[in-house]
Every structure is written in structure tokens, then in C-alpha cells.
Amino acid sequence: MPIISVIDQISLGGFRHKENEDRVGLGGRHAWVIDGATGLGEPFMGMGSDAAWLAQRAHEALTRHAGLTRPATLIAALADDLVGRFEAERTRPLSEAWELPCGAFMLATAGEGGLTITWSGDCRALVQPAGGPVMAFGANPVSEDAEAALVASIGAAGDPAERYRQPEALAQLRALRAVALAAGNALILAPDHGFVSHLAEAAVTAAEAEVLLMTDGFAAAELRYGLYASPQALIEAVRHDGLAEIARQLRRFEIETDPDGKLKPRWKRCDDATAIWLKISN
């Protein structure tokens, strides 16, 4: 019987005045992180943040259906729940495709002889099988560089916390999100069954492994800011120092070293940052 256990976990909000739009959880043979994508308009899901609504409802669904052992079956149940809750709880019809609440997730499932990693969007997972090299899944240097290039191309000045609210940035982000959220064919986690067809999945054969699941705000310590030179360096730092120390280094860079985002262009000064460190054994 495979066993999945938590070594450490952390979830930090990006702004004191804004709800944390990340979620982290464990149930059955599964563990997950969820990152709600910051809304680009006025919220309409009955909460202060549609991204937080999406993350919370997805977390509730995964918890409710965690007894389903196969990732595909679990995620199909997740999609059903999200669609039903969206129809029941929205306060008005959609006006534009980009308004649909959406986000990213990373799911680890322990199975006989190994684990399955399933994801949608830009969360990240690092997996180190016992005696083997670190493997990385999800967000990567290429995707991070593309986002940084988009921020830099807009040339927004001042507090990066407000960059994505500037008219040119909003127009580009809404256009990109509209493509990703085409009705019936959503490319990322959303209350739309279409996202299930666009999931990525990887199998790792290992009797034992350590797994680090991260939202992009936490993965930024390695990918975006280069505070850790490689996935292996980040895993070793987590083992030696713990997740809280990684988070301190992350926030120190964002708040003290590069508060205006000149060194590392980004939409927000500090993003929500969530991670869970796991041990998988059979």
C-alpha cells in the first residue's frame, strides 16, 4: 500500500490586504497545490476574489473526492463539482470569456511502485526518487522567461503590485486569458469540463521519493529570481533549512533587493507562495 506523508508545508499571501488565492491539501493517495489566477475585472462569485473562490472550491472538491485513487477519475469529479458550483454561486452571467475564474494546480498521486504527477498551468513539482536525480515538471525557465518578457515589453513603471492593472497590461492579459478560456475548451483549470482534455501527466517509477509541489509564487525562488541555481540546489536547501527559510529568502528579494521589479520584471511585487514537501513510500 503506497503511503504519502507530509514533511513540511507553507502558504503565504502576497499582499496583506488581499486574500491568499492559493490552496494546499492532502487526501487519500493525493497531495496538491492550487493557484487561483488573479481576476482581471470585478469579482462576481460572491467572494472578494474570484481567484480565491476557484482555489477554495477546487480544494474542497479534491478533498471530497480524495478516495478516488486514479488521477483521471479524481479530476473528472473535480471538473463536475466546479461546473456545478459555478452555476449555483455566480451572481451574474459571464460578459467576457476572460472573466471565468481560472487557475493552475499540481497533483501528486502515490501508486504501486511510484507516483503520478498531473498538472494544469504554471505550478511546479520537483521529484527526487531515492538514489536518483531530481526531476522537474510544470513551470520551467522558458515559461518564466516568456512572462518576464511580456512584463518588460509593456514597460510599466513604479510599484509592480499595480502593473497588471495598467490599461495596456490589462488588455493583453485579458486577450491571453480569453484564448485560454474558450467556452467548452478551457486550457487551464476552470469551471469548464474542457480543461480535463488539456492536462499534463508524468509517471515516476520509484519505491521511495521526495516531492516538492509549489505554486509559481514559491517556485519563483529558483525559476524567476535565481536564488537557487538548480532544482537540485532548491531541494537540498529545503532539506537543510526548511520551507520557511526558502520563503524568507524569497520575500527578502522581493521586498528589499528588488522592490520595484527592475532586476526581475514581474506583475506583482510579492505573489502568493505555497509549497508542500512530501515523502512517498511503498
Q: Per-residue DSSP letters for 177-223?
A: HHHHT-TT--SSBSSSGGGGGG-EEEEEE-SEEEEEEE-HHHHTTTT
Dihedrals phi, psi of 164, to nearest 5 degrees: -70, -10
H or E element that contains 53: helix 50-64
> Which pLDDT tens digit goes with each residue over 48-89?
899 999 999 999 999 999 999 999 999 999 999 999 999 999
Contact, 246 vs 126, CB < 8 A?
Answer: no
- pTM, two decimals, is 0.95
Contact, 131 vs 205, CB < 8 A?
Answer: no
| Residue 27, CA distances (Å) to 94, 126, 254, 257, 264 in order | 33, 20, 33, 38, 36
3-state secondary structure of 107: strand
Dihedral of alpha carbons 174, 176, 177, 179, sign: positive
Spatial distance between the Cα atoms of 278 and 6, rounded to a whole number of angstroms: 5
Burial class (CB in 10 A: 0-12, 13-18, 19+), 27: middle
Which residue did the predictor score with more confidence, 158 or 62? 62
Contact, 174 vs 98, CB < 8 A?
Answer: yes
Please say if the pLDDT value at position 245 is more than 70: yes
Q: Which residue has the cell 495598467?
A: 166
Instruction: Please state the CATH superfamily assignment of the domain spanning residues 3-281 in this structure.
Output: PPM-type phosphatase domain (3.60.40.10)
Q: Which residue(s) pair with 110 in the sheet?
A: 115
The one-letter amino acid code at 7 reads: I
Contact, 150 vs 173, CB < 8 A?
Answer: no
Contact, 137 vs 125, CB < 8 A?
Answer: yes
Task: Determine the pLDDT at residue 160.
Answer: 61
Spatial distance between the Cα atoms of 191 and 122, rounded to a whole number of angstroms: 18
Please say if the pLDDT value at position 157 is more than 60: no
Spatial distance between the Cα atoms of 119 and 115, rounded to a whole number of angstroms: 13
> Which pLDDT tens digit goes with each residue over 175-188?
999 999 999 999 99
Contact, 276 vs 59, CB < 8 A?
Answer: no
> Which pLDDT tens digit goes with each residue over 8-23?
999 999 876 778 999 9
Q: Domain map of the chain by residue range?
A: 3-281
Please say if the pLDDT value at position 125 is more than 80: yes
